[in-house]
Amino acid sequence: MLENLRQDVVDAYENALAARENSYSPYSHFKVGAAVKFKGVDQVFYGCNVENASYGATICAERNAIWSGVAAVGKQDMEYLIVVADQDDPVPPCALCLQVISEFYDPKMPIYLGNLEGIRKMYLLEEILPVPFNNFVA
């Protein structure tokens, strides 16, 4: 596990790991859990990937967690995101999820990547998505 993590991040990782167990992934067999914390909101929101035979209807754990948070507290800036999968080298959010994350844009937002053993890496959003597709209002 990365060192010097805040206790709330460690707790959110543990709950994302638990949410991962609820994954419905009969096609990929790739379970993912996620946690999102919004700035100024005490509650952390969790999600897991939910697949569908019509692959376009599948939702990733990250978007599932974000949508849960938006449904509960409305649009807020994200404080951090955690993604947990069973991979030695943890996986980052996919491009669709990164686009959704950019709607709650803070380029310095940490994205923690973990596996079953703990949080292994941390990236800033701007490192993973240096040129977001947003703010194109005419």
Q: Which of 3, 21, 62, 79 is catalytic?
A: 62
Q: What is the CATH number of the domain that holds 89?
A: 3.40.140.10
The reply to whether 41 falls in a domain is: yes
Range of the domain at 108: 7-128
The reply to whether 1 falls in a domain is: no
Q: Which residues contact 122 (CB under 8 A, 6 or more apart)?
A: 2, 110, 111, 112, 113
Helix H or strand E encompassing 123 = strand 118-124
The reply to whether 138 falls in a domain is: no
Per-residue model confidence (pLDDT) at position 1: 82
51 is catalytic: no
The reply to whether 137 falls in a domain is: no
Question: CA 60, 61, 63 angle in degrees (round to 5)?
Answer: 70
State what percent of residues in the chain have pLDDT above 90: 86
Cα–Cα distance for residue pair 21/116, rounded to 1 Å:
11
Count of domains forming the chain: 1
Overall pTM surpassing 0.85 (yes/no): yes
The reply to whether 108 falls in a domain is: yes
The reply to whether 88 falls in a domain is: yes
The reply to whether 44 falls in a domain is: yes
Please state the length of the chain: 138
The reply to whether 136 falls in a domain is: no
What 3-state DSSP class applies to 2?
A: coil
Sign of CA dihedral 43, 30, 113, 57: negative
Per-residue pLDDT of the chain (138 residues; tens, 9 = 90+): 888 999 999 999 999 999 999 999 999 999 999 999 999 999 999 999 999 999 999 999 999 999 999 999 999 999 999 999 999 999 999 999 999 998 887 889 999 999 999 999 999 999 999 888 876 665
DSSP 101: H
Of the candidates 114, 104, 116, 135, which has an alpha carbon nearest to the alpha carbon of residue 125? Answer: 104
Q: 95-120, pLDDT tens digit by residue? A: 999 999 988 878 899 999 999 999 99
Cα–Cα distance for residue pair 68/16, rounded to 1 Å:
13
